[in-house]
Amino acid sequence: ALPACGPAGAMAAGQSPPQGGEPGWGLLATAALGGTLLALHAAVTPFVAPALRKVCLPFVPATAAQIRNVLAMLENRSGPLVDIGSGDGRIVIAAAKKGFKAVGYELNPWLVWYSRYRAWRDGVHQNTKFYISDLWKVSFSHYRNIVVFGVPQMMPQLEKKLEEELECNARIIACRFPFPCWIPDHTTGEGIDTVWAYDLKHSRGCETKSLEITPERES
């Protein structure tokens, strides 16, 4: 007798079932999982990558009190302002609303894009700029007002970098953690909202150097 037709007959005859047809559910599930992991990697990497660097600068949003304290240290100041590690752009936007040309440097591209959106939403996008950049690869030499939300392990190296790059008329405003060597000219706030302001002409001794090279006048 001839074997029965169809898959059952083929198996009965010791043959493999026919190949082809629609892709299996396993293949579809694998493709879906791969796409999900790829999207998750793209979303998480900008937040995780900074933690893998030598000095981690985590994103912690500035409080309303910190913003007020920073603005208080900027009273009667002028000239360009930079926020080192600008996060979601709060300080840059607040300074722009006070008339400053303000720039933010941030390593996380998602935060930079969000900062640009916030500046546009608040109507100060013409006075603000945000860059995706590593702070150690940027020169801050043309800024007169510098705001820093740092961590203790980065402050000594950043103090040296700023002292080498900035002019004597610069003011550096440190939030949460002070610089290790400089003596602040002004301090305000309490706890995590504390802000220290350093006038580089005092910290570097520019006035003393200026007096040393001034020729003496005959009496």
| Contact criterion met (CB below 8 Å) for 69 and 95 | no
pLDDT in tens, the chain (219 residues): 444 555 544 444 455 555 555 556 766 666 556 655 554 544 444 444 444 344 556 678 899 999 999 999 999 999 999 999 999 999 999 999 999 999 999 999 999 999 999 999 999 999 999 999 999 999 999 999 999 998 999 999 999 999 999 999 999 999 999 999 999 999 999 999 999 999 999 876 665 443 343 344 443
pTM of the model as a whole: 0.70
Domain residue spans in the chain? 24-53, 64-208
Strands 186-188 vs 195-199: parallel, antiparallel or unpaired: antiparallel
Per the rule left: phi > 0, alpha: psi between -120 and 50, beta: everything else, 218 is beta
pLDDT of residue 206: 62
Reference 140, options 161, 126, 168, 115; nearest CA is 161
Compute the C-alpha angle 183/95/188, nearest 5°. 35
Tokens encoding 191: 């706890």
pLDDT tens digit sequence for 164-185: 999 999 999 999 999 999 999 9
Cα torsion 46, 49, 51, 54 to 10°: value is -140
Class of domain 64-208: alpha beta
- Quote the CA–CA distance of 80 and 143 in Å, as a whole number: 5
pLDDT of residue 52: 37
